[in-house]
Amino acid sequence: MKPHRIIIDADPGVDDAAAILMALGSPEVDLLGLSIVAGNVPLEATVANACKIVALTGRGDVPVHAGAAGPLVRDQVYGKYAHIGAFNDSLVPAGDVVPSAENAVQFLVRSTRAAAAANDPITICAIGPLTNIALALIQHPDVARGIRRIVSMGGAFTALGHRTPWAEFNLLADPHAADIVYHSGVPIVMMPLDVTLQALFTEQHFVAFRRGGAAGQALCNLFTTFDRSDIARFGRPGGPIHDAMTIAWLIRPGLFKGCDTYVGVEVAGVTMGYTYADFHDKLGRAANATVITEVDETGFIGLLLDRIARHGDTENAEIAGGVKA
Ligand code: RIB
Ligand code: CA
């Protein structure tokens, strides 16, 4: 089967790092580049973190493009873990990857236009605020023809929000961008908190990341340093790795269940960023998204561990002087 040609739009972010490494460890995925946005931390730090993650894998051929430093309309908000900032060298070693001179929005426009011309549209895995993607679609609506679908980590329907009682962070950070993307006509696959919180990773999983060579060790460092577990909220030990689910869905969609429905987002007031889904078709509006509602937790965790471990296989093969088939 032909690899999925994808662009990851991200705000690294610890779980973004896991998603990027999962994509780079998966032969089913051809990662064309990263478009980076402010979100978890300010843009300068998300770009630096993205460069470090790519450098860990020796994939300097994967370009990192800096994009929007803030949301379209609302005031800037950063993630709950904004204190992480740029990944410390002691956790993720400095690398040799520097960002491209091409802005992320221009990269998205150029890549999707070329994909449309080749009649081979691209999948965008959107795992941060949707600002870059909204800007590309506003400025050049034709680019929609070059986007096969957007697989987006964001929103909360039956789950409560976690940055406000109503809103998941990526939606809270730029609800206007999400509103534009959801009504662009581009097929959307949504991974809301409803499903990302069904898979919780524990210390034993983080230690298992170490099978992934330098990349896996760095991921283990990040997840063991910044404890994201919340027994009071999740009801059991462990914490989510939200963003990696977008990659897992592309590789193994059979691990997931979902349904097509109309979704919308609040763009003003105290519930800004609140997402709603018309699961019982009360509004009579055409479905604009596939909302993923269930995941096979064991299957997802095993898939992520396997793809991170492949970085170790590659590293060992290179050390042995072989060329991994
Ligand atoms: O709410 C979780 C999402 O917000 C994840 O993508 C995380 O990286 C942050 O961007
Ligand atoms: Ca993210």
Contact predicate 160/199, CB 8 Å: no
Identify which has the larger pLDDT, 282 or 232: 282
What percent of the chain lies above the pLDDT cut of 90? Answer: 89
Nearest ligand 1 atom to the CA of 127 is 6
Question: For position 83, what pLDDT does the model report?
Answer: 84
Determine whether the shortest distance from the Cβ of 41 to ligand 1 is under 6 A: no
Nearest ligand 1 atom to the CA of 169 is 1
What percent of the chain lies above the pLDDT cut of 70? Answer: 98
Question: For position 233, what pLDDT does the model report?
Answer: 86
Determine whether the shortest distance from the Cβ of 67 to ligand 1 is under 6 A: no
Distance 40 CA to ligand 2 centre (A): 7
Determine whether the shortest distance from the Cβ of 161 to ligand 1 is under 6 A: no
Question: For position 105, what pLDDT does the model report?
Answer: 98
Total-model pTM: 0.96
Determine whether the shortest distance from the Cβ of 15 to ligand 1 is under 6 A: yes
Distance 39 CA to ligand 2 centre (A): 7
Which ligand has the nearest atom to the CA of 20? Answer: 2
Contact predicate 210/216, CB 8 Å: yes
Q: Which residues are catalytic?
A: 242
Which ligand has the nearest atom to the CA of 84? Answer: 1
Identify which has the larger pLDDT, 227 or 5: 5
* pLDDT band, residue 325 (cuts 50/70/90): very low
Of 301, 303, 315, whose CA–CA distance to 212 is shortest?
315
Nearest ligand 1 atom to the CA of 193 is 1
Q: What are 171-198's pLDDT values in tens digits? A: 999 999 999 999 999 999 999 999 999 9
Determine whether the shortest distance from the Cβ of 127 to ligand 1 is under 6 A: yes
Mean pLDDT computed over 133-158:
97
Whether pLDDT at 323 is above 60: no
* pLDDT band, residue 250 (cuts 50/70/90): very high
Angle in degrees, 0-180, between the axes of helices 213-225 and 297-319, rounded to the nearest 10: 140
Written as one letter, the residue type at 94 is A
Q: How many Å apart are CA 319 and CA 129, to the nearest integer?
A: 38
Could you tell which of 8, 125, 132, 169 is best to mutate to test the pocket of ligand 1, judged by most ligand atoms within 8 Å of the CB?
Answer: 169
**Omega within 30 of 0 (cis) for the link into 185:** no
Q: What are 4-18's pLDDT values in tens digits? A: 999 999 999 999 999
Distance 316 CA to ligand 1 centre (A): 32
Question: What CA–CA distances, in Å, run from 229 to 35, 197, 225, 243?
Answer: 28, 11, 12, 16
- Which residues pair with residue 295 across a beta bridge? 256
Which ligand has the nearest atom to the CA of 171? Answer: 1
Mean pLDDT computed over 251-272:
97
Q: What are 59-110's pLDDT values in tens digits? A: 999 999 999 999 999 999 998 888 889 999 999 999 999 999 999 999 999 9
* pLDDT band, residue 324 (cuts 50/70/90): very low
Indicate which residue's Cα is closest to atom 2 of ligand 1: 169
Question: For position 322, what pLDDT does the model report?
Answer: 57
- How high is the mean pLDDT of the chain? 95
Nearest ligand 1 atom to the CA of 242 is 5
* Domains defined along the chain, listed by start: 4-309 (3.90.245.10)
Question: For position 81, what pLDDT does the model report?
Answer: 80
Whether pLDDT at 26 is above 90: yes
Determine whether the shortest distance from the Cβ of 9 to ligand 1 is under 6 A: no
Mean pLDDT computed over 128-142:
98
Determine whether the shortest distance from the Cβ of 16 to ligand 1 is under 6 A: yes
